Amino acid sequence: MPPEDARPLLLFDSGIGGLSVLRAVRAALPNAPIVYVADNGGFPYGTKSEAEIAARVPALLGRLAERYRPRLICIACNTASTIALAGVRAALDLPVVGTVPAIKPAAEVSKTRAIGVLGTDATVRQPYVDDLSARFAGDCLVLRHGSARLVELAEAALRGLPTPDADYRTALDGLLEQDGGDRVDVIALACTHFPLVADRLAAVAPRPITFVDGAGGIARRIAFLTGDQSWPAAPAPGLAVFTAPLDVPDGLRRSLAGFGLETIEAL
């Protein structure tokens, strides 16, 4: 048996959306030490240019890797992954797992052969989404919609703030009111923030719709890549890191603790 290895997994997102991935990782690897990084200093990513994200993310993850010495980094953010994943992998000498829109699983379960991709503006316009659609959903109508507001709603909900049904309905309408939107029976949540409010989206949907995301697949990939490594004998309190000073409200502190992130610090 290899000696106990205390090196953490580092999960990175523009905000708190990556907690949806952390939830799946915790289920797969309950004793894994976790450092969760929210880049509130650069938030939101979805409205930034590709050049800004491609420059910021590899440099920032380089700093984080030096500071926290992780065994693996997960970019738990669709926007950062679709734009900067190759740059991060080129810059860092450790495994890096990205997040991609769950178009393949959406196509696998669609009965109507019409699926939606709900993400940020930056994600849904990427050629990578064209490629995934062609490879895995070639026989499907694939509609896309970018919603910066839905990211804000997820962030607010995790802070314990009220969020109105009408705003969730507007985000869905941007997808379902497109030509062919009445056929959509599955929606890929192509932003890690969105699974955190999937129940709210389902509650305002005009008909039963299946929502899918990639968190489970990401967790399985991390477990595979670390399969020959050892872990501490018991879970340790996780660390939440913010890249800019933040007065953490009580609601957010409670939410982070619910995901096992009991210590909070600024980079």
pLDDT in tens, 69-92: 999 999 999 999 999 999 999 999
pLDDT single digits (tens) 99-132: 989 999 999 999 999 999 999 998 899 898 999 9
pLDDT score, position 246: 85
pLDDT tens, residue by residue, 51-62: 999 999 999 999
CATH architecture of structural domain 9-99+216-266 = 3-Layer(aba) Sandwich (3.40)
Burial of 33 (0-12, 13-18, 19+ CB in 10 A): buried
Handedness of CA 250, 251, 255, 256 (dihedral sign): negative
Query: What does the domain layout of the chain look like in residue ranges?
Result: 9-99+216-266, 103-212
Neighbours of 74 (CB within 10 A): 27
Catalytic position from the list 37, 64, 77, 171: 77
Span 187-196, pLDDT tens digits:
999 999 999 9
State yes or no: is 74 an active-site residue: no
Res. 2: pLDDT tops 60: no
Give the pLDDT mean for 148-161.
93
Active site (annotated) includes residue 191: yes
pLDDT for residue 150? 95
Mean pLDDT of the region 207-215: 97
Which residue in 191, 212, 256, 261 is the catalytic one?
191
Topology alike, domains 9-99+216-266 and 103-212? yes
CATH fold of the domain at 103-212: Rossmann fold (3.40.50)
Q: What is the mean pLDDT of the chain?
A: 94
- pLDDT confidence tier of residue 4, bands split at 50, 70 and 90: confident
Check residue 235 and give its pLDDT: 87
Q: Give, as one character, the DSSP assignment of residue 2.
A: P
- Average confidence (pLDDT) over 240-254: 92
Contact of 32 with 8, CB cutoff 8 Å: yes
> Does the structure show a pLDDT above 80 at 157?
yes
The region of weakest confidence among 42-51, 64-73, 87-96, 141-150 is: 42-51
Backbone Cα Rg of the chain = 18
Asked if pLDDT for residue 1 goes beyond 80, the answer is: no
* Mean pLDDT confidence for 8-17: 96
The pair phi, psi for residue 205, each rounded to 5°, is -65, 145
Q: At what angle do helices 78-91 and 50-68 cross, to 10 degrees?
A: 60
